[in-house]
Amino acid sequence: MRIDIITIFPDYFVPLELSLIGKAREAGILDVRLHDLRSWTHDRHNTVDDTPYGGGPGMVMKPEPWGEALDAVTADDPAPARLILPTPSGTPFTQEHAKRLSQQPRLVFACGRYEGIDARVAADAAERMPVEELSIGDYVLAGGEAATLVVVETVSRLLPGVLGNAESAVQDSFASGAMENLLEGPVYTKPARWRDQEVPPVLLSGDHGAVDRWRRHEALRKTARNRPELLRELAAQRLESMDRRDRELVEQLLADSGPE
């Protein structure tokens, strides 16, 4: 997969040289290219913003450098590109988005700043490539760089060969499975006893069926505590198809959580 990131702060993306993403880049699984938007400005101040039409606070990113940048970045590769605009007004980004985007050959991220990018940029780009506006949460960041890092890491770890153990992605919170959209429960490693705390005995039992059930039930309990709306959604969709013990636990957790 090729990922292009256009930003006025290329140094923000040093973390993409580290850990799994860095190794994937070294292995040729992932091709990440950074582009400084100011390279497509033509005045001595490298201006990328101006005052908004209609008045109001803040500044808006100018269409000219963005248009030239997108033209240049998408012209050097025949692979179809998809433009991603991180913005708090976008569609909430989920694991399902990540799975879908991981199937794309090429993603281009436009990191807005200030009050955002002139709306004509997205409209112009949409004439030659799909455009998606994505939000990583109901809050406002200083720019699109942090959100781009989140999306790139979430998507990249789903690419074949990026994770050392592909099963890890399947078992993550929000991954598909028999209990999809549950939060991942607690995890433990050696030593078996640490500061007077013991690893749950079931994890040392060698009984794989019991371990699977324990993990599933701990995931249900954590979801009930931290994201009760997900548990209610799961119950509405799958309660009748669960086995008796899972169903009884879900019913008890819903009763304990009270009304919405």
The residues annotated as belonging to the active site are 88, 115, 157, 172
Contact 182, 170 (CB under 8 A): no
90 is in an annotated binding site: no
55 is in an annotated binding site: no
131 is in an annotated binding site: no
Cis upstream peptide for 160 (omega within 30°): no
144 is in an annotated binding site: no
116 is in an annotated binding site: no
137 is in an annotated binding site: yes
207 is in an annotated binding site: no
Binding residue numbers for S-adenosyl-L-methionine: 112, 136-141
Binding residue numbers: 112, 136-141
